[in-house]
Structure 1
Amino acid sequence: MKVLMVLTSNDKLGEHDEQTGWYLPECAHPYHVFKQAGTVEMVSASPAGGKAPVDESSVDASKEDKVSMDLYKDEAFKTFTEETKKLSDVKGDKFDAVFVVGGFGTMWDLPENADLQEIIRNTYEQGGIVSAVCHGPCALTQVKLSDGNFLVKDKKVTAFTDDEERAVERIDKIPFTNEQKLMEVGAVYTKRAAWSAHVVVDGRLITGQNPASATGVANAILARSSGTVY
């Protein structure tokens, strides 16, 4: 099974003087799940290629998270996140699944990325799995299928909630919220209480609400790929 893990190249919170990037546990936990499976070939990619910036606050917040901390210090994981391929260089490749890692950085460089939209559309239309966690679903909001309909139209999805945005005091610092944008393009948005693990599987579309949902999304990808129900 070949999985493309997509990371943001953006390390700034828009016009605000705050560092951001991809969120450590949202990459580390799925990476760990896929590695443990022993049957997954992982490819990392980002808009700019090269080093994808980790959100430094997510490293601080993960001090008690053994999986994240072990991988943060792991040379192979470091190479995986610092030597990403350009999305434009992999858009012609075939993947069994695309997984968009979350983090606030995604909100600026993934939603309008034409290369990523093409990769997601092709993967889905060729029978592959499309997945994302936390802020990662922002990358799905503008993807249209060949018939002109939005990928998420009439499909059950989840993502970081407006309540969670308010809790971290960033709802006024982002271009849009995933909750509102997903509903705007016709998705059936679902959520649970803030910070609760919540994974939504609608056929070959798999989404997770927040960092606590990252492991569940990875497990759901493996289950779906093997034909079992998560």
Structure 2
Amino acid sequence: MSNAASRDRALIVLTSHGELGDTGRSTGFYLPEVAHPWKVFAEAGLTVDLVSVKGGEPPMDGHDPSDPVQQRFLEDPEMSAKLKNTPKPSEVDPSRYGIVLYAGGHGVMWDFPGNAELAAIGRQVYEQGGVVAAVCHGPAGLVDLTLSDGSHLVAGKRVAAFTNDEESAVGLTEVVPFLLADKLTERGAVHVPAPNFEANVVVDGRLVTGQNPASATGVAEAAVAALREQAKA
């Protein structure tokens, strides 16, 4: 990468959308898909920053107090402060990051696609030699991510994402604005599914994607490995 400093920073992208369609239920970013990658990144020596679509403190979902990693993340003074006051995409300098990870949670299905500023972060990180990663519903952030030549980042690449079967299993097929796996396929991606809720991490060069929450740690580990590989190049 041209900027050596960016090899030691990772950015995790969070949704700001807190309503699960018209169900009356709440949603938000899925905490395990942030906390577990944070642990991997931090142990690899990376500084972890957060960004959310609208900035401020984003809505959170999936908190399990019995998970020590989630508790460590929420109680970490640095990350707690960052979570309470996230910047908006327009306030982020992508040149600082070697990894950008689009975290999941159903909220992303409403506010990741079509967000040009969010897509611009991934584009710059990728085109400067960094790693673009996404997990579960996080690949919604890849749906409208185009490169400088106008092509979709996912076109012709193997990807994992929350599958149609998994969406059906959680009873939200008719609630989400679109089916993620189908939309990625429309953009030219080769969707690589695994059985429901089993860990599935797919690496295609500097694009790293995971199918579901069980894939979050593996996605982060693969992203770090890809970044280290790029540093040698």
* TM-score category of the 2 structures, normalised to the smaller one: over 0.9
1:91 Cα shift?
Answer: 4.6
What TM-score does the superposition give when structure 2 sets the normalisation length? 0.91
Deviations 1:94-124 (A, max 9, x none): 3211101100011111111110111111111
2:203 is the alignment partner of 1:201: yes
Whole-angstrom CA distance in 1 between matches of 2:143 and 2:58: 22
Q: How does 1:185-200 map to 2 (within 5 A)?
A: 185-200=187-202
- Among 117, 132, 135, the residue aligned to 1:133: 135
* Structure 1 equivalent of residue 114 of structure 2: 112
Q: CA deviation at 1:227?
A: 1.2
Q: Deviations over 1:147-185 (max 9, x none)?
A: 121110000001011111111111110001111101011
Against the structure 1 CA distance between its residues 225 and 92, is the aligned structure 2 distance closer, same or farther, given a 3 Å change threshold?
A: closer
- In the aligned structure 2, how far is the partner of 1:76 from the partner of 1:95? 18
Q: What pairs up with 1:129-208 in 2 under 5 angstroms?
A: 129-208=131-210
> Is 1:32 matched with 2:34?
no
On the 8 A contact 2:95/2:125 being kept in 1, the answer is: no
CA separation of 1:92 and 1:201: change in aligned 2, threshold 3 A = closer
CA distance in 2, matches of 1:186, 1:200: 16
Q: Which residue of 1 aligns with 2:4?
A: none
TM-score (norm 1): 0.92
The match for 2:57 is 51
* CA RMSD, 1 decimal: 1.5
* Structure 1: tracts of 5 or more residues without a match: none
Distance (whole Å) between structure 2 residues aligned to residue 189 and residue 79 of structure 1: 37
Tell me how far 1:225 sits from its aligned partner: 1.3
- Per-residue deviation at 1:24? 1.0
Secondary structure of 2:139's match? helix
Report the counterpart of residue 3 of structure 2 in structure 1.
none
- Report the 3-state secondary structure (helix = DSSP H, G, I; strand = E; otherwise coil) of the residue aligned with 2:150: coil
**Structure 2 stretches lacking a partner, 5+ long:** 1-7
2:73 to 48, 71, 74: 71
Contact 1:91 1:116 in 2 (8 A): no
Tell me how far apart the structure 2 counterparts of residues 95 and 155 of structure 1 sit (CA, whole Å).
22
Equivalent residues of 1:8, 1:105 under 8 A apart:
yes
Percent identity of equivalent pairs: 47
The answer to which of 199-208 and 122-131 deviates more is 122-131
- AA matched with 2:74: Y
CA–CA distance in 2 between the matches of 1:141 and 1:77? 28
- Residue in structure 1 matched with residue 20 of structure 2 by the alignment: 13
Structure 1 equivalent of residue 48 of structure 2: 42
For structure 1, which segment, 67-76 or 136-145, has the greater mean C-alpha deviation from structure 2 after superposition? 67-76
Given residue 57 of structure 2, which amino acid in structure 1 is its aligned partner? Answer: K
Structure-1 separation of matches of 2:30 and 2:53: 16
Q: Deviations over 1:117-153 (max 9, x none)?
A: 1111111111111000000000101111111211100
Aligned length: 223
Give the deviation of 1:77 after TM superposition.
Answer: 3.0
Report what 1:22 is aligned to. 29
